[in-house]
C-alpha cells in the first residue's frame, strides 16, 4: 500500500517537471500565441524571391502584411512607418503548406472503431493544442492541416480544418469558416482485415460488399430522416400548430449535412473498383465526394474522377506497405493532374508533414510537372479541396498572411524553413529556435536530475518500529486487463 502511495507521488513530481520542461520548450511560439488578442504587427518581407503560386515568381519582391492579411505584394512595396522589416535577401517566400490529410493535434485515439458508422464522433472535440507535432510541422512550413478521423469505419467521425497556431488554446485552432468534413473509408481497414482482439466477435462489415452496403444503408436512413424534417419544417412554416418535431438522430445529422452540401466527404481508398463503387453510391444519393484520400490507383480511373469533379489527395511515392498499395506508382499525382483531376500531396503522418515541399518536388521527376504545378500540390490545390482558397493557398493581396520563408528554393532538397507565419504572426523562427536550444537542454538536464532524486526510495513512514507487529495486509484485488484492440 505504501509503495503504491510513493509511486504516484514520484509520478506526480515527474509530471510537474515534464510539463515545466515542455512549457519552456514552447516559450518562443507561446509568446507569439499570447499576442493573439493584440493587433497583428505590420511586417514587410523584402528582397525575397516570391513564389506566388497563382501568378508566377517575383524576383527581389516584397510582401506587406497588415492586420494579419497580405496588404500588398510586388517588386517594389513602400514600407510604412514603424514597420517590422524582415530582410529575406537570397531567400524564397511561398504560401504556407496545407496538409489535406493529417492526424496531429488529437488527444487520444484517432479511431472510434467500435461501430461501423461513427459519424457522431467529432475530432474537433479532442483537439490538443499541446501536441508538439504542431510545432514540428510548423518547422516544416505547414500552416493548415485537415485533421481526420481514422479509417476503421466505412463512415467515420467528423473532421476539422485547423491552423497550426502553436501556443494558443484548442478553441483557437479551427480555421474560421472552413466547411467541416467527415471521414469515409473503403477496403482493408473498415472491413477489419488486420484488426480485432483475439477471441472478439467480428464487427460488421467484414467484406468489401458489406462496406458498400453499410454506406448505402446509412444514407438511405439519412435521406428518410431529412425528408421527415423537411416535411415538419414545411408544415410549421405554413402555420400549422402543435406539431411534434421528429426525434433528433445525432448519427444521421452529419450525413444530412453531406446531402445538403454543408459537409465535405473525405474518403480513404486505394483500389480502382472501390473508388468507382463510392462514386456510384454518391451519385445514387446525390452527394459529392470532396476528396479521395490516398487514392493510389487513381491513375487507373483518372478520367472518371475528373468527370465526377472529385479531388485526389495522394502520397508522392509510398508503395507496397499493404496489399492494397502494390499497384501504387510515383507517377500517380502527375498522371491524374494531366487528366484534369485536382490533386494534392498529403502526409498522413506528422513526420512526413515536415518535408511535404520535397514530397511535392518528386512529381517533377516522376511525371514532369512544372515548378508551379508541383508547388500547387501542397498549397493552392489542397486549399481548393478544403474550400478555403479565398483565404489561403497563394500569395495574393487580401489573403491571410500564412507564409513560409526558405533559405533555398522550396522544391530543393537543401531547402530549410527559416520562418513560418500564420495570420501575419511568426509562429516558427529557426534562428530563435537554434538560439534557445542550449538553455533548454540545460534546463532539461536539471529537471531530469530533479526527477531522478524524487524517484529515489525514501524511508517508509508506515513501516513498523522495532518491537511493533506489522499490520496484517489485506489481499489485493486481482488486476483487470481490458483489451482495446489495435487499429
In this prediction, residue 375 carries a pLDDT of: 98
In this prediction, residue 109 carries a pLDDT of: 87
- Could you read off the pLDDT of 278-315 as tens digits, one per residue? 999 999 999 999 999 999 999 999 999 999 999 999 99
In this prediction, residue 481 carries a pLDDT of: 35
| Residue 26 confidence (pLDDT) above 60 | no
- The backbone torsions φ and ψ at residue 322, rounded to the nearest 5 degrees and listed phi first, read -160, 165
Average pLDDT, rounded, for the chain: 89
SS3 assignment, position 377? coil
In this prediction, residue 10 carries a pLDDT of: 45
SS3 assignment, position 182? strand
For the purposes of burial, counting CB atoms within 10 Å of the CB of 77, is it exposed (0-12), middle (13-18) or buried (19 or more)? middle
472 confidence band (pLDDT: 50, 70, 90) = low
Mean pLDDT within 150-174: 97
In this prediction, residue 81 carries a pLDDT of: 87
| Residue 379 confidence (pLDDT) above 80 | yes
Nearest-CA neighbor of 427 among 24, 26, 23?
26
**Rounded CA gap, 170 and 62, in Å?**
33
Tell which wins on pLDDT, 438 or 28. Answer: 438
**Rounded CA gap, 35 and 155, in Å?**
39
Counting residues of the chain whose pLDDT is more than 90, the rounded percentage is 80
Mean pLDDT within 86-107: 97
**Rounded CA gap, 159 and 151, in Å?**
12
SS3 assignment, position 426? strand
**Rounded CA gap, 118 and 442, in Å?**
46
Q: Distance from CA of residue 1 to its chain's centroid?
A: 44
Q: Judge whether 288 and 281 are in contact, CB under 8 Å.
A: no
- Could you read off the pLDDT of 181-201 as tens digits, one per residue? 999 999 999 998 766 555 556
Q: Judge whether 408 and 422 are in contact, CB under 8 Å.
A: no
| Residue 428 confidence (pLDDT) above 90 | yes
Tell which wins on pLDDT, 277 or 471. Answer: 277
Mean pLDDT within 240-245: 95
- Could you read off the pLDDT of 329-369 as tens digits, one per residue? 999 999 999 999 999 999 999 999 999 999 999 999 999 99
36 confidence band (pLDDT: 50, 70, 90) = low
Lookup: cell for 410: 522550396
Mean pLDDT within 249-275: 98
| Residue 422 confidence (pLDDT) above 90 | yes
| Residue 229 confidence (pLDDT) above 50 | yes
Nearest-CA neighbor of 340 among 294, 388, 299, 390?
299
Nearest-CA neighbor of 172 among 28, 352, 30?
30
| Residue 3 confidence (pLDDT) above 80 | no
Amino acid at each position: 500500500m505504501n509503495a503504491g502511495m510513493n509511486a504516484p507521488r514520484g509520478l506526480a513530481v515527474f509530471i510537474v517537471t515534464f510539463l515545466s520542461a515542455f512549457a519552456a520548450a514552447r516559450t518562443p511560439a507561446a509568446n507569439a500565441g499570447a499576442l493573439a488578442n493584440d493587433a497583428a504587427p505590420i511586417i514587410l518581407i523584402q528582397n525575397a524571391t516570391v513564389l506566388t503560386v497563382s501568378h508566377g515568381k517575383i524576383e527581389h519582391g516584397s510582401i506587406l502584411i497588415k492586420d494579419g492579411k497580405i496588404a500588398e505584394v510586388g517588386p517594389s512595396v513602400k514600407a510604412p512607418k514603424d514597420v517590422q522589416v524582415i530582410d529575406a535577401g537570397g531567400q524564397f517566400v511561398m504560401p504556407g503548406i496545407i496538409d489535406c490529410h493529417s492526424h496531429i493535434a488529437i488527444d487520444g485515439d484517432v479511431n472510434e472503431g467500435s461501430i461501423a458508422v461513427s459519424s457522431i464522433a467529432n475530432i474537433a472535440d479532442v483537439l490538443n493544442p499541446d501536441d508538439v507535432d504542431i510545432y514540428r510541422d510548423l518547422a516544416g512550413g505547414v500552416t493548415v492541416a485537415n485533421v481526420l478521423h481514422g479509417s476503421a469505419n466505412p463512415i467515420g467521425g467528423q473532421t476539422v480544418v485547423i491552423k497550426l497556431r502553436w501556443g494558443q488554446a484548442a478553441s483557437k485552432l479551427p480555421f474560421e469558416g472552413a466547411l467541416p468534413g467527415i471521414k469515409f473509408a473503403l477496403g482493408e481497414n473498415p472491413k477489419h482485415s488486420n484488426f480485432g482482439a483475439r477471441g472478439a466477435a467480428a464487427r460488421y462489415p467484414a467484406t468489401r460488399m458489406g462496406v458498400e452496403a453499410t454506406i448505402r444503408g446509412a444514407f438511405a436512413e439519412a435521406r428518410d430522416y431529412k425528408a421527415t424534417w423537411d416535411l415538419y419544417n414545411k408544415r410549421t412554416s405554413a402555420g400549422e400548430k402543435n406539431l411534434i418535431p421528429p426525434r433528433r438522430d445525432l448519427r444521421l445529422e452529419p450525413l444530412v449535412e453531406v446531402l445538403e452540401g454543408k459537409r465535405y466527404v473525405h474518403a480513404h481508398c486505394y483500389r480502382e473498383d472501390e473508388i468507382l463503387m463510392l462514386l456510384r453510391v454518391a451519385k445514387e444519393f446525390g452527394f459529392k465526394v470532396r476528396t479521395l484520400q490516398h487514392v493510389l490507383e487513381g491513375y487507373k480511373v483518372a478520367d472518371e474522377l475528373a468527370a465526377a469533379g472529385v479531388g485526389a489527395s495522394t502520397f508522392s511515392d509510398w508503395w507496397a506497405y499493404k496489399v492494397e498499395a502494390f499497384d501504387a506508382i510515383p507517377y500517380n499525382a502527375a498522371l491524374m493532374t494531366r487528366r484534369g483531376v485536382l490533386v494534392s500531396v498529403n502526409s498522413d503522418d506528422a513526420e512526413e508533414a515536415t518535408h511535404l515541399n520535397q514530397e511535392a518536388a518528386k512529381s517533377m521527376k516522376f511525371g514532369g510537372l512544372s515548378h508551379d504545378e508541383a508547388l500547387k500540390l501542397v498549397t493552392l490545390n489542397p486549399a481548393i479541396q478544403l474550400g478555403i482558397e479565398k483565404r489561403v493557398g497563394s500569395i495574393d493581396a487580401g489573403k491571410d498572411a500564412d507564409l513560409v520563408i526558405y533559405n533555398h528554393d522550396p522544391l530543393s532538397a537543401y531547402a530549410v524553413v527559416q520562418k513560418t507565419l500564420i495570420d501575419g504572426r511568426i509562429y516558427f523562427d529557426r534562428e530563435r529556435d537554434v538560439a534557445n536550444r542550449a538553455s533548454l537542454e540545460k534546463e532539461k538536464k536539471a529537471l531530469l536530475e530533479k526527477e531522478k532524486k524524487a524517484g529515489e526510495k525514501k524511508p517508509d513512514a508506515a513501516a513498523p518500529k522495532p518491537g511493533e507487529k506489522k499490520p496484517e495486509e489485506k489481499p489485493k484485488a486481482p488486476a483487470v486487463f481490458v483489451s482495446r484492440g489495435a487499429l
